[in-house]
Amino acid sequence: MNSHEIDYQIFGDDLQCVEIELDPNETVIAEAGGMMMMDSAIEMNTIFGDGSRNQGIMDKLFSAGKRVLTGESLFMTTYTHRGMGKGRVTFAAPYPGKIIPMDLVQMGGKVICQKEAFLCAAQGVDIGIEFQKRLGVGFFGGEGFIMQKLQGDGMAFLHAGGTVVKRTLTAGEVLTVDTGCLVAISQTVDYNVRLQKGIKNTLFGGEGLFLVSLTGPGDVWIQSMPLSRLADRIYAHSPKMGGSRKGEGSILGGLGDLLDGDNF
């Protein structure tokens, strides 16, 4: 195997974390800010690019450029076990949801996922952009058009918001999904972004202008609460942004807002 072999255990229910068990000199890569705790023998190091092994300077520049295009940081963090025996490092989910383990060997060496879904992976897994030949996907995909590809023969871990539903599509079977709710697809699934049908649906349906159409065969992972939707709900109910306790059924209504400590 080109990737490091790692063991893992997932803890929790709705606010999960994944504990990665490393042998001496084994390494796991992660996005900055995802680490929860680690043993004293774990060495943390910030690297340029996506953490793929045996990269030259041009490869590192190219991989870093790909990460910038997906809206991610130029840098990633590696965690390497420098002691004897077993070392452990734990990564926490950034918001309520589920952690999804992906064995890339069983996935045919590649999985395609939302840009915000990646949590961590064994070193040797390549993290890049899944370029689409269809211009419509790029121009109109909204929050779902920038997809990452994880390639290699190691373990990768994704995070999804809310409840995760896995669907296995047969050849030719089509599933329509909200662009933000799509978490990941296997490489055999074809996806395309299409315009919402009907002027009333477009203007008043509340689902946005575009949906993603998935065609089997292959596996699809769907989340019930995308981060963007969660952020919109929090923003809408924030008193500072015009929200009110009335929206939460409070009997205090405006009085509750007046009694808020920030108003004194």
Confidence of residue 192 (pLDDT cuts 50, 70, 90): confident
Rounded average pLDDT over 93-108: 92
Q: Does 232 score more than 90 pLDDT? A: no
Q: Tell me 76's DSSP state.
A: E
pLDDT digit string, tens, across residues 113-155: 988 899 999 998 988 888 665 545 444 444 445 788 999 999 9
Contact 48, 78 (CB under 8 A): no
* Average pLDDT of every residue of the chain: 78
Set out the domains of the chain in order of their start, with CATH numbers: 7-248 (3.60.160.10)
Contact 150, 102 (CB under 8 A): yes
Q: Which of 41, 43, 156, 35 is nearest to 87 (CA)?
A: 41
Contact 128, 151 (CB under 8 A): yes
How big is the CA angle at 46 (ends 42 and 48), to the nearest 5 degrees?
140
Query: Parallel, antiparallel, or unpaired: how do β-strands 182-186 and 110-114 relate?
Result: antiparallel
* pLDDT value for 205: 47
Rounded average pLDDT over 70-88: 83
* Residues 6 or more apart whose Cβ sits within 8 Å of residue 72: 31, 115
Place of tokens 């992972």: 221
Contact 144, 192 (CB under 8 A): no
Q: Calculate the CA 70 to chain-centre distance.
A: 12
Compute the distance between CA of residue 7 and CA of residue 181 in angstroms, rounded to an integer: 29
Contact 19, 79 (CB under 8 A): no
- Walk across the sheet containing 182-186 and list its strands: 126-129, 147-151, 110-114, 182-186, 218-223, 164-169
More confident residue, 194 or 29: 29
pLDDT digit string, tens, across residues 58-78: 555 555 555 555 555 567 899
Q: Is the pTM of this model over 0.85?
A: no
* pLDDT value for 63: 56
* Run of H or E including 108: none
pLDDT digit string, tens, across residues 246-264: 444 444 455 445 444 454 4
